Structure 1
Protein backbone atom coordinates (compact mmCIF):
# COMPACT_ATOMS: atom_id res chain seq x y z
CA UNK A 1 0.00 0.00 0.00
CA UNK A 2 2.80 2.42 0.80
CA UNK A 3 4.29 2.01 -2.65
CA UNK A 4 0.90 2.56 -4.31
CA UNK A 5 0.49 5.95 -2.56
CA UNK A 6 3.93 7.34 -3.28
CA UNK A 7 3.35 7.91 -7.01
CA UNK A 8 0.08 9.86 -6.67
CA UNK A 9 1.57 12.05 -3.95
CA UNK A 10 4.58 12.81 -6.12
CA UNK A 11 2.36 13.59 -9.09
CA UNK A 12 0.24 15.92 -6.96
CA UNK A 13 3.37 17.68 -5.71
CA UNK A 14 4.62 18.23 -9.26
CA UNK A 15 1.18 19.49 -10.31
CA UNK A 16 1.12 21.92 -7.39
CA UNK A 17 4.54 23.29 -8.33
CA UNK A 18 3.46 23.74 -11.95
CA UNK A 19 0.26 25.51 -10.92
CA UNK A 20 2.17 27.81 -8.58
CA UNK A 21 4.69 28.61 -11.33
CA UNK A 22 1.88 29.39 -13.76
CA UNK A 23 0.23 31.68 -11.23
CA UNK A 24 3.49 33.50 -10.58
CA UNK A 25 4.11 33.86 -14.30
CA UNK A 26 0.65 35.33 -14.73
CA UNK A 27 1.24 37.73 -11.86
CA UNK A 28 4.54 38.87 -13.36
CA UNK A 29 2.92 39.61 -16.70
CA UNK A 30 0.09 41.46 -15.01
CA UNK A 31 2.44 43.48 -12.81
CA UNK A 32 4.60 44.42 -15.78
CA UNK A 33 1.57 45.45 -17.83
CA UNK A 34 0.19 47.71 -15.07
CA UNK A 35 3.62 49.18 -14.38
CA UNK A 36 3.82 51.24 -17.58
CA UNK A 37 4.57 54.95 -17.61
CA UNK A 38 2.17 57.42 -19.19
CA UNK A 39 3.36 58.92 -22.46
CA UNK A 40 3.97 62.66 -22.87
CA UNK A 41 1.01 62.79 -25.27
CA UNK A 42 -1.35 61.69 -22.49
CA UNK A 43 -0.81 65.04 -20.76
CA UNK A 44 -1.96 67.08 -23.75
CA UNK A 45 -5.21 68.02 -22.03
CA UNK A 46 -3.31 70.09 -19.44
CA UNK A 47 -3.53 73.54 -21.00
CA UNK A 48 -1.13 75.36 -18.67
CA UNK A 49 2.42 74.77 -20.04
CA UNK A 50 4.07 74.93 -16.61
CA UNK A 51 1.58 72.51 -15.06
CA UNK A 52 1.98 70.16 -18.02
CA UNK A 53 5.78 70.29 -17.66
CA UNK A 54 5.49 69.55 -13.94
CA UNK A 55 3.16 66.65 -14.73
CA UNK A 56 5.81 65.11 -16.99
CA UNK A 57 8.26 65.15 -14.10
CA UNK A 58 5.72 63.80 -11.63
CA UNK A 59 5.28 60.79 -13.89
CA UNK A 60 9.05 60.44 -14.27
CA UNK A 61 9.23 60.57 -10.48
CA UNK A 62 7.77 57.06 -10.38
CA UNK A 63 11.14 55.92 -11.73
CA UNK A 64 13.38 58.27 -9.78
CA UNK A 65 11.83 57.33 -6.42
CA UNK A 66 11.85 53.61 -7.19
CA UNK A 67 14.32 51.42 -5.21
CA UNK A 68 16.14 50.58 -8.46
CA UNK A 69 17.24 54.23 -8.49
CA UNK A 70 17.25 55.33 -4.85
CA UNK A 71 19.31 52.33 -3.73
CA UNK A 72 22.21 53.73 -5.75
CA UNK A 73 21.42 57.34 -4.82
CA UNK A 74 21.56 56.88 -1.02
CA UNK A 75 21.65 59.70 1.49
CA UNK A 76 24.64 58.16 3.27
CA UNK A 77 27.82 56.32 2.39
CA UNK A 78 26.30 52.85 2.21
CA UNK A 79 24.23 51.63 -0.73
CA UNK A 80 20.91 49.94 -0.22
CA UNK A 81 19.63 46.83 -1.92
CA UNK A 82 16.49 44.91 -2.77
CA UNK A 83 12.92 46.06 -3.15
CA UNK A 84 12.86 46.89 0.57
CA UNK A 85 15.95 49.14 0.30
CA UNK A 86 17.75 47.45 3.16
CA UNK A 87 21.35 48.44 3.88
CA UNK A 88 23.83 46.58 1.70
CA UNK A 89 25.10 43.28 3.07
CA UNK A 90 27.94 42.63 3.42
CA UNK A 91 28.68 46.14 4.72
CA UNK A 92 30.32 48.22 1.99
CA UNK A 93 31.01 51.93 1.72
CA UNK A 94 31.02 54.62 -0.96
CA UNK A 95 34.74 55.38 -0.99
CA UNK A 96 36.24 58.60 -2.38
CA UNK A 97 35.16 57.92 -5.99
CA UNK A 98 31.86 56.12 -5.45
CA UNK A 99 33.32 52.79 -6.55
CA UNK A 100 33.92 51.53 -3.01
CA UNK A 101 36.83 51.54 -0.59
CA UNK A 102 40.27 50.46 -1.75
CA UNK A 103 39.89 47.24 0.22
CA UNK A 104 36.40 46.48 -1.14
CA UNK A 105 35.71 47.84 -4.61
CA UNK A 106 32.25 47.48 -6.12
CA UNK A 107 33.73 45.41 -8.94
CA UNK A 108 34.91 42.80 -6.44
CA UNK A 109 31.39 41.37 -6.45
CA UNK A 110 29.53 43.27 -9.17
CA UNK A 111 30.81 42.01 -12.49
CA UNK A 112 30.03 43.15 -16.04
CA UNK A 113 26.54 41.59 -16.03
CA UNK A 114 23.98 40.16 -13.62
CA UNK A 115 25.18 36.91 -12.06
CA UNK A 116 21.86 35.14 -11.71
CA UNK A 117 22.89 31.96 -9.82
CA UNK A 118 24.27 34.18 -7.08
CA UNK A 119 21.63 36.89 -7.58
CA UNK A 120 24.35 39.54 -7.79
CA UNK A 121 23.53 42.50 -10.06
CA UNK A 122 26.21 43.63 -12.46
CA UNK A 123 27.37 46.28 -14.93
CA UNK A 124 30.88 47.37 -16.04
CA UNK A 125 30.45 50.76 -14.33
CA UNK A 126 28.71 49.64 -11.13
CA UNK A 127 29.03 52.40 -8.52
CA UNK A 128 27.14 54.83 -6.33
CA UNK A 129 25.93 58.22 -7.50
CA UNK A 130 27.85 61.12 -5.89
CA UNK A 131 26.57 62.16 -2.47
CA UNK A 132 25.36 65.51 -3.84
CA UNK A 133 23.03 63.48 -6.09
CA UNK A 134 21.41 61.60 -3.18
CA UNK A 135 17.66 61.10 -3.71
CA UNK A 136 16.87 58.74 -0.85
CA UNK A 137 14.05 60.12 1.30
CA UNK A 138 13.34 63.10 -0.94
CA UNK A 139 10.07 64.13 -2.53
CA UNK A 140 9.59 64.28 -6.28
CA UNK A 141 9.59 68.07 -6.05
CA UNK A 142 12.91 68.08 -4.16
CA UNK A 143 14.46 65.69 -6.67
CA UNK A 144 13.27 67.90 -9.52
CA UNK A 145 14.96 70.99 -8.08
CA UNK A 146 18.11 68.97 -7.45
CA UNK A 147 18.32 67.17 -10.77
CA UNK A 148 18.33 70.38 -12.82
CA UNK A 149 20.95 72.06 -10.63
CA UNK A 150 24.39 71.53 -12.26
CA UNK A 151 26.01 71.71 -8.81
CA UNK A 152 23.94 68.70 -7.73
CA UNK A 153 23.52 66.67 -10.90
CA UNK A 154 27.08 65.99 -12.01
CA UNK A 155 27.35 69.29 -13.91
CA UNK A 156 24.82 68.13 -16.51
CA UNK A 157 22.67 70.31 -18.73
CA UNK A 158 19.02 69.47 -19.30
CA UNK A 159 19.90 67.77 -22.59
CA UNK A 160 22.65 65.84 -20.81
CA UNK A 161 19.98 64.59 -18.42
CA UNK A 162 17.80 63.48 -21.33
CA UNK A 163 20.67 61.42 -22.69
CA UNK A 164 21.68 60.13 -19.26
CA UNK A 165 18.23 58.89 -18.27
CA UNK A 166 17.16 57.82 -21.75
CA UNK A 167 20.26 56.00 -23.01
CA UNK A 168 22.86 55.39 -20.27
CA UNK A 169 23.27 51.63 -19.87
CA UNK A 170 23.89 51.75 -16.11
CA UNK A 171 20.62 53.67 -15.72
CA UNK A 172 19.09 51.11 -18.05
CA UNK A 173 19.95 48.33 -15.61
CA UNK A 174 16.98 49.54 -13.54
CA UNK A 175 14.66 47.94 -16.12
CA UNK A 176 16.60 44.66 -16.24
CA UNK A 177 17.69 44.15 -12.62
CA UNK A 178 17.77 40.38 -12.64
CA UNK A 179 16.29 37.66 -10.47
CA UNK A 180 14.34 38.68 -7.39
CA UNK A 181 14.22 42.42 -8.09
CA UNK A 182 11.22 44.35 -9.44
CA UNK A 183 12.11 46.49 -12.49
CA UNK A 184 11.58 50.23 -12.45
CA UNK A 185 8.22 51.35 -13.87
CA UNK A 186 7.81 51.42 -17.63
CA UNK A 187 10.84 51.23 -19.90
CA UNK A 188 13.97 53.31 -20.33
CA UNK A 189 12.59 54.58 -23.63
CA UNK A 190 9.40 55.78 -21.91
CA UNK A 191 11.41 57.47 -19.15
CA UNK A 192 13.59 59.11 -21.78
CA UNK A 193 10.53 60.45 -23.58
CA UNK A 194 9.20 61.94 -20.34
CA UNK A 195 12.46 63.64 -19.36
CA UNK A 196 12.78 65.01 -22.90
CA UNK A 197 9.25 66.41 -22.80
CA UNK A 198 9.96 67.91 -19.39
CA UNK A 199 13.25 69.51 -20.47
CA UNK A 200 11.77 70.87 -23.69
CA UNK A 201 8.75 72.38 -21.95
CA UNK A 202 10.60 74.56 -19.46
CA UNK A 203 11.59 71.94 -16.85
CA UNK A 204 8.98 73.07 -14.33
CA UNK A 205 8.87 71.28 -10.98
CA UNK A 206 5.77 69.89 -9.31
Structure 2
Protein backbone atom coordinates (compact mmCIF):
# COMPACT_ATOMS: atom_id res chain seq x y z
CA UNK A 1 0.00 0.00 0.00
CA UNK A 2 2.77 2.43 0.94
CA UNK A 3 4.74 1.49 -2.19
CA UNK A 4 1.75 2.16 -4.45
CA UNK A 5 1.07 5.44 -2.69
CA UNK A 6 4.65 6.67 -3.06
CA UNK A 7 4.78 5.53 -6.69
CA UNK A 8 1.61 7.44 -7.52
CA UNK A 9 2.75 10.52 -5.60
CA UNK A 10 6.05 10.60 -7.51
CA UNK A 11 4.15 10.43 -10.81
CA UNK A 12 1.94 13.37 -9.84
CA UNK A 13 4.95 15.31 -8.54
CA UNK A 14 6.66 14.88 -11.91
CA UNK A 15 3.54 16.16 -13.67
CA UNK A 16 3.26 19.10 -11.27
CA UNK A 17 6.92 19.96 -11.74
CA UNK A 18 6.57 19.96 -15.53
CA UNK A 19 3.46 22.17 -15.34
CA UNK A 20 5.30 24.57 -13.01
CA UNK A 21 8.20 24.74 -15.49
CA UNK A 22 5.68 25.38 -18.27
CA UNK A 23 4.37 28.43 -16.44
CA UNK A 24 7.93 29.58 -15.69
CA UNK A 25 8.95 29.42 -19.35
CA UNK A 26 5.70 30.98 -20.55
CA UNK A 27 6.30 34.11 -18.44
CA UNK A 28 9.99 33.83 -17.59
CA UNK A 29 10.69 37.49 -16.82
CA UNK A 30 7.78 37.80 -14.37
CA UNK A 31 8.55 34.41 -12.83
CA UNK A 32 12.20 35.26 -12.23
CA UNK A 33 11.42 38.55 -10.45
CA UNK A 34 8.33 37.50 -8.47
CA UNK A 35 10.08 35.30 -5.91
CA UNK A 36 6.78 34.02 -4.43
CA UNK A 37 6.90 30.31 -5.19
CA UNK A 38 6.31 28.66 -1.81
CA UNK A 39 2.53 28.49 -2.11
CA UNK A 40 2.59 26.71 -5.51
CA UNK A 41 5.23 24.35 -4.10
CA UNK A 42 3.09 23.37 -1.12
CA UNK A 43 0.06 23.16 -3.40
CA UNK A 44 1.87 20.72 -5.71
CA UNK A 45 3.02 18.54 -2.81
CA UNK A 46 -0.40 18.57 -1.16
CA UNK A 47 -2.15 17.78 -4.44
CA UNK A 48 0.22 14.91 -5.15
CA UNK A 49 -0.36 13.42 -1.70
CA UNK A 50 -4.13 13.74 -2.12
CA UNK A 51 -4.07 12.02 -5.51
CA UNK A 52 -1.85 9.25 -4.11
CA UNK A 53 -4.39 8.63 -1.33
CA UNK A 54 -7.20 8.48 -3.90
CA UNK A 55 -5.25 5.96 -5.98
CA UNK A 56 -4.57 3.73 -2.97
CA UNK A 57 -8.25 3.93 -2.04
CA UNK A 58 -9.28 2.98 -5.58
CA UNK A 59 -6.84 0.04 -5.67
CA UNK A 60 -7.50 -1.55 -2.29
CA UNK A 61 -11.13 -0.65 -1.67
CA UNK A 62 -12.54 -0.88 -5.21
CA UNK A 63 -10.04 -3.30 -6.82
CA UNK A 64 -9.36 -0.89 -9.68
CA UNK A 65 -5.95 -2.35 -10.49
CA UNK A 66 -6.13 -2.06 -14.27
CA UNK A 67 -7.86 1.31 -14.20
CA UNK A 68 -5.24 2.93 -11.97
CA UNK A 69 -2.40 1.52 -14.08
CA UNK A 70 -3.96 3.01 -17.21
CA UNK A 71 -4.36 6.34 -15.41
CA UNK A 72 -0.68 6.27 -14.45
CA UNK A 73 0.28 5.45 -18.03
CA UNK A 74 -1.70 8.48 -19.15
CA UNK A 75 -0.02 10.71 -16.56
CA UNK A 76 3.48 9.50 -17.42
CA UNK A 77 2.86 9.86 -21.16
CA UNK A 78 1.42 13.37 -20.79
CA UNK A 79 4.34 14.40 -18.56
CA UNK A 80 6.86 13.04 -21.06
CA UNK A 81 5.30 14.87 -24.02
CA UNK A 82 4.97 18.19 -22.18
CA UNK A 83 8.56 18.01 -20.90
CA UNK A 84 9.96 17.47 -24.40
CA UNK A 85 7.79 20.25 -25.86
CA UNK A 86 8.83 22.69 -23.12
CA UNK A 87 12.54 22.03 -23.67
CA UNK A 88 12.18 22.70 -27.41
CA UNK A 89 9.94 25.75 -26.89
CA UNK A 90 12.18 27.31 -24.25
CA UNK A 91 15.26 27.05 -26.46
CA UNK A 92 13.42 28.67 -29.38
CA UNK A 93 12.04 31.40 -27.14
CA UNK A 94 15.50 32.25 -25.85
CA UNK A 95 16.97 32.20 -29.36
CA UNK A 96 14.24 34.42 -30.85
CA UNK A 97 14.01 36.94 -28.01
CA UNK A 98 13.39 40.35 -29.67
CA UNK A 99 15.89 43.17 -29.40
CA UNK A 100 14.62 46.10 -27.36
CA UNK A 101 15.74 48.31 -24.49
CA UNK A 102 14.92 45.63 -21.91
CA UNK A 103 16.53 42.79 -23.81
CA UNK A 104 19.57 42.43 -21.55
CA UNK A 105 17.53 42.04 -18.40
CA UNK A 106 14.85 39.94 -20.06
CA UNK A 107 17.36 37.66 -21.74
CA UNK A 108 19.18 37.10 -18.48
CA UNK A 109 15.92 36.18 -16.73
CA UNK A 110 14.84 33.86 -19.52
CA UNK A 111 18.28 32.27 -19.54
CA UNK A 112 18.15 31.61 -15.80
CA UNK A 113 14.76 29.90 -16.09
CA UNK A 114 15.85 28.06 -19.24
CA UNK A 115 19.03 26.74 -17.65
CA UNK A 116 17.15 25.42 -14.64
CA UNK A 117 14.45 23.90 -16.86
CA UNK A 118 16.96 22.30 -19.23
CA UNK A 119 18.87 20.78 -16.32
CA UNK A 120 15.78 19.51 -14.53
CA UNK A 121 13.45 18.18 -17.22
CA UNK A 122 15.81 15.54 -18.72
CA UNK A 123 15.95 13.80 -15.35
CA UNK A 124 12.15 14.00 -15.18
CA UNK A 125 11.96 12.41 -18.64
CA UNK A 126 14.25 9.58 -17.51
CA UNK A 127 12.20 9.07 -14.35
CA UNK A 128 8.92 9.02 -16.28
CA UNK A 129 10.31 6.50 -18.77
CA UNK A 130 11.54 4.18 -16.02
CA UNK A 131 8.24 4.55 -14.17
CA UNK A 132 6.40 3.49 -17.31
CA UNK A 133 8.66 0.48 -17.83
CA UNK A 134 8.29 -0.59 -14.20
CA UNK A 135 4.53 -0.94 -14.67
CA UNK A 136 4.98 -3.60 -17.37
CA UNK A 137 5.87 -6.44 -14.93
CA UNK A 138 2.78 -5.59 -12.87
CA UNK A 139 0.56 -5.90 -15.94
CA UNK A 140 2.20 -9.20 -16.86
CA UNK A 141 1.67 -10.52 -13.33
CA UNK A 142 -2.00 -9.47 -13.24
CA UNK A 143 -2.55 -11.26 -16.58
CA UNK A 144 -0.82 -14.41 -15.30
CA UNK A 145 2.15 -14.22 -17.67
CA UNK A 146 4.74 -14.18 -14.85
CA UNK A 147 4.55 -15.11 -11.18
CA UNK A 148 4.68 -12.63 -8.30
CA UNK A 149 8.33 -13.18 -7.20
CA UNK A 150 9.57 -12.56 -10.74
CA UNK A 151 7.32 -9.50 -10.95
CA UNK A 152 8.92 -8.13 -7.78
CA UNK A 153 12.41 -8.73 -9.16
CA UNK A 154 11.69 -6.75 -12.35
CA UNK A 155 9.63 -4.10 -10.57
CA UNK A 156 12.16 -3.20 -7.88
CA UNK A 157 15.10 -3.57 -10.27
CA UNK A 158 13.46 -0.96 -12.50
CA UNK A 159 13.07 1.36 -9.51
CA UNK A 160 16.69 0.90 -8.49
CA UNK A 161 17.83 1.70 -12.02
CA UNK A 162 15.45 4.66 -12.01
CA UNK A 163 17.25 6.15 -9.00
CA UNK A 164 20.65 5.62 -10.61
CA UNK A 165 19.71 6.96 -14.06
CA UNK A 166 17.73 9.92 -12.72
CA UNK A 167 20.52 11.08 -10.40
CA UNK A 168 23.15 10.56 -13.10
CA UNK A 169 21.10 12.56 -15.61
CA UNK A 170 20.56 15.37 -13.12
CA UNK A 171 24.29 15.58 -12.34
CA UNK A 172 25.17 15.49 -16.05
CA UNK A 173 22.66 18.23 -17.02
CA UNK A 174 22.89 20.53 -13.99
CA UNK A 175 26.01 22.67 -14.28
CA UNK A 176 26.36 23.37 -10.57
CA UNK A 177 25.89 19.75 -9.54
CA UNK A 178 28.26 18.60 -12.29
CA UNK A 179 30.98 20.98 -11.14
CA UNK A 180 30.47 19.95 -7.53
CA UNK A 181 30.65 16.27 -8.47
CA UNK A 182 33.86 16.81 -10.44
CA UNK A 183 35.34 18.83 -7.58
CA UNK A 184 34.56 16.16 -4.97
CA UNK A 185 35.27 12.96 -6.88
CA UNK A 186 37.33 13.76 -9.99
CA UNK A 187 39.60 16.68 -9.17
CA UNK A 188 40.23 15.38 -5.66
CA UNK A 189 41.63 12.12 -7.02
CA UNK A 190 43.67 13.66 -9.83
CA UNK A 191 45.10 16.71 -8.06
CA UNK A 192 47.82 16.39 -5.40
CA UNK A 193 46.76 17.63 -1.99
CA UNK A 194 49.19 20.56 -1.96
CA UNK A 195 48.12 21.77 -5.42
CA UNK A 196 44.36 21.87 -4.79
CA UNK A 197 42.64 25.22 -5.23
CA UNK A 198 40.12 26.09 -2.54
CA UNK A 199 37.11 27.81 -4.11
CA UNK A 200 35.23 30.54 -2.31
CA UNK A 201 31.68 29.91 -3.49
CA UNK A 202 30.29 32.87 -1.55
CA UNK A 203 32.74 35.32 -3.13
CA UNK A 204 32.16 33.87 -6.61
CA UNK A 205 28.40 34.28 -6.20
CA UNK A 206 28.77 37.85 -4.95
CA UNK A 207 31.03 38.77 -7.88
CA UNK A 208 28.57 37.22 -10.32
CA UNK A 209 25.58 39.19 -9.03
CA UNK A 210 27.63 42.39 -8.86
CA UNK A 211 28.48 41.97 -12.55
CA UNK A 212 24.83 41.41 -13.42
CA UNK A 213 23.82 44.45 -11.37
CA UNK A 214 26.28 46.64 -13.29
CA UNK A 215 24.98 45.23 -16.58
CA UNK A 216 21.36 45.93 -15.65
CA UNK A 217 22.12 49.48 -14.50
CA UNK A 218 23.72 50.24 -17.87
CA UNK A 219 20.43 49.55 -19.69
CA UNK A 220 18.56 52.80 -20.41
Whether TM-score is above 0.5 comes out as no
Higher helix share: 2
Q: TM-score scaled to structure 2, two decimals? A: 0.28
Larger relative contact order, structure 1 or 2 (CA cutoff 8 Å, min sep 6): 1
Q: TM-score scaled to structure 1, two decimals? A: 0.30
